[in-house]
Amino acid sequence: MHKNPNNCWIVASFALLIASFPVQGFAGEPIELERGVAPHNPQQPQVAVGVQGTIHVVYGMGGLVRYRRSDDGGKSYSNAVDLPSAQEMSLGMRRGPRIAVSEKSICVTVIGGKQGKGRDGDLLAMRSTDNGKTWTAPVPVNDTADSAREGLHAMCAGPNGELCCIWLDLRNRKTEVMASVSKDGGGSWSKNVLVYRSPTGSVCECCHPSVAMDSLGRIHAQWRNSLRGNRDIYVASSTDGGSTFGEATKVGFGTWPLNACPMDGGAIAVGGNNTLASAWRRDKMVFLTIEGENEERNLGVGEQPWIAATEAGPFVVWLKRRGDIAYLLMPESTSPIELVKHGFDPVIAAAPKGRGPVVAAWETRDGQNYSVHCQVVAN
């Protein structure tokens, strides 16, 4: 186990810009969590918000995962705690750690191997039961060695503390979507279950998957497919706790013929009344689809969308392109707000049932200098 003896807090400036949602604006200013020079630099932040509104952040730092938390609504963040090593960790281009929070634990997953760089790699889970002070050694999620070597995965928490991981799996020499469930906060994981196998070969090989669980414990997995030359987004759901997954269905109404992988998997989230919402890219445009609406909303030119859903509706972040403007679309708004002028791979997270802040995180770069930032965008 790793323990950080320094209990001091890093205090960052915080300005109240709006009193409450839906006034257009942000509830807090961006806070820089860390910066560094490659290869010892912060990358690929991920955020989770607990039921009580605590903000949990992880990111890759060189060869390690670092964890910070905020117990005061994003006004300040704890000093960093380094998690146990996952050896050569997959990092960059939506690869990197994932975090989920339940009443049982904080769980962080990462893909790592002795060689790394796609030559080997297992999906590894580490958990903390003392609010992030100490962490268990990594335990494998995939039950076939090195089958997660593509380095792309997702994780979510369910209503009763269960966790689900999905990932791009190579055990059968073609890229498939696999899943596993933990009922003890990430300490042990179930036998791997096939979510989807493309009938024409592999699913899209380098697009990250996404997963969300609703209040009934149903699991919804999303990935970019590859069918007869088309690279469209698909979703499949499990109603039995991840033991089986149903038929895959395409998201949206158009299709994207593409003889390549766009490295852009989109994201899925569950909002009010267990309504599914998905943000995803087709060609040069970003789209939003909401279950029950017979339309796909064109959000404009962009890539790398991410989504969080609340009772008020979905929050969507995306990039004009990597290294350019990051946008945020709030619920009930028709126009996006500029989140940051030069961003990479933004993410956004909300508390279960909307009981807490909505938090965005992203990475910025200036030559070899990297930094990661968090911002409370709504309360």
pLDDT the model gives residue 31: 97
- pLDDT tens for each residue of 254-308: 999 999 999 999 999 999 999 999 999 999 999 999 999 999 999 999 999 999 9
- pLDDT tens for each residue of 196-233: 999 999 999 999 999 999 999 999 999 999 999 999 99
In angstroms, rounded to a whole number, what is the distance separating the alpha carbons of residues 364 and 372? 6
Calculate what percentage of the chain has a pLDDT beyond 90: 87
- pLDDT tens for each residue of 317-336: 999 999 999 999 999 899 99
Domain-by-domain residue ranges, the chain?
A: 32-378
The residues with which 236 forms a beta bridge, in sequence order, are: 221
End-to-end CA distance of the chain: 34
Give the pairing of strands 297-301 and 303-310: unpaired
Query: How would you class 152 by CB atoms within 10 Å of its CB: exposed for 0-12, middle for 13-18, buried for 19 or more?
Result: buried
Across the chain, how many H-helices and E-strands are there?
A: 0, 31
Q: Show the CA angle centred on residue 368, arms to residues 363 and 372, nearest 5°.
A: 20
219-224: strand order across its sheet: 210-213, 219-224, 233-238, 249-250
CB 153 within 8 A of CB 109: yes
Q: How confident is the model at residue 17 (pLDDT cuts 50, 70, 90)?
A: very low
Each as own residue / partner, the long-range contacts of residues 25-30 (CB below 8 Å, 24 or more positions apart, any chain) are: 25/337, 26/337, 26/375, 26/376, 26/377, 26/378, 27/357, 27/376, 27/377, 27/378, 27/379, 28/73, 28/74, 28/75, 28/357, 28/375, 28/376, 28/377, 29/375, 30/340, 30/373, 30/374, 30/375
In angstroms, rounded to a whole number, what is the distance separating the alpha carbons of residues 328 and 335? 9
Query: What is the per-residue DSSP string for 49-92?
Result: E-TT--EEEEEEETTEEEEEEESSTTSEEEPPEEPPP-SEE--B
Residues 374-378 have a mean pLDDT of 97
Place of tokens 């796609």: 118
pLDDT the model gives residue 354: 66
The three-state DSSP-derived secondary structure of 269-322 is EECHHHCEEEEEEECCEEEEEECCCCCCEEEEECEEEEEEEECCEEEEEEECCC
**b/e 7-42 (16+ beta carbons within 10 angstroms → b):** eebeebebeeeeeebeeeebbbebbebbebeeeebb
pLDDT the model gives residue 208: 98
Please give the structure tokens belonging to residue 313: 């509706």
Place of tokens 């009930």: 332
| Greatest mean pLDDT among 1-15, 32-46, 354-368 | 32-46
In angstroms, rounded to a whole number, what is the distance separating the alpha carbons of residues 111 and 152? 8
Q: How many CA atoms lie within 13 A of 194 on its CB side?
A: 11
In angstroms, rounded to a whole number, what is the distance separating the alpha carbons of residues 364 and 373? 8
The average confidence (pLDDT) of the chain is: 92
Place of tokens 């802040």: 357
3-state secondary structure of 212: strand
The reported pTM is 0.92
Whether domain 32-378 has CATH 3.40.50.300: the reply is: no
Cis upstream peptide for 199 (omega within 30°): no
Residues 88-93 have a mean pLDDT of 96
Please give the structure tokens belonging to residue 244: 């089986």
Place of tokens 């380098």: 206
pLDDT the model gives residue 299: 97
176-182: strand order across its sheet: 153-157, 163-169, 176-182, 193-196
pLDDT the model gives residue 368: 87
pLDDT the model gives residue 24: 45
